[in-house]
Amino acid sequence: MAPRSFFAKPTRDAGPHMPQGVEYRTGAWLSVLRTYLAMSLGGHFAWEVVQLPLYTIFWTETPTRIAYAVLHCTVGDVLITLSTLIVSLVAIGSGRWPGDRKTYARVAGLSVALGVSYTAYSEWLNTSVRHAWSYAAAMPVVPPFGIGLSPLLQWLVIPVAAFVVTARICRISCDEWPEAPETTDTRVRASWKGTARD
> Quick check: is 40 in a domain?
yes
User: What percentage of the chain carries pLDDT values higher than 90?
Assistant: 63
What's the pLDDT tens digit per position in 127-182?
Answer: 999 999 999 999 999 999 999 999 999 999 999 999 999 988 877 543 444 444 45
Who wins on pLDDT, 27 or 20?
27
Give ∠ CA 58-61-62 in degrees, rounded to 5. 110
**One-letter amino acid for residue 13 of the chain:** D
> Quick check: is 18 in a domain?
no
Query: Average pLDDT in the 74-96 region?
Result: 95
**One-letter amino acid for residue 169 of the chain:** I
> Quick check: is 124 in a domain?
yes
Cβ 44 vs Cβ 158: under 8 Å: yes
Q: What is the pLDDT of residue 100?
A: 85
What's the pLDDT tens digit per position in 100-133?
Answer: 889 999 999 999 999 999 999 999 999 999 999 9
Most confident of 22-26, 28-32, 191-195: 28-32
> Quick check: is 36 in a domain?
yes
Of the pLDDT bands very low, low, confident and very high (cuts 50, 70, 90), residue 83 is very high
What are the DSSP calls for 48-71, one per residue? HHHTGGGBTHHHHS-HHHHHHHHH
Query: Average pLDDT in the 67-90 region?
Result: 97
Instruction: Give counts: helices (H), strands (E), the chain.
Output: 6, 2
Q: What is the pLDDT of residue 22?
A: 38
Q: What is the pLDDT of residue 196?
A: 45
Q: What is the pLDDT of residue 19?
A: 44
Domain containing 107: what range? 28-195
Which stretches does DSSP call E strand in 113-188? 141-142, 147-148
Q: What is the pLDDT of residue 170?
A: 76
Q: What is the pLDDT of residue 95?
A: 85
Of the pLDDT bands very low, low, confident and very high (cuts 50, 70, 90), residue 21 is very low
Label the pairing between strands 147-148 and 141-142: antiparallel
Q: What is the pLDDT of residue 178?
A: 42
Give ∠ CA 96-99-102 in degrees, rounded to 5. 80
Domain count along the chain: 1
> Quick check: is 23 in a domain?
no
pTM confidence score: 0.75
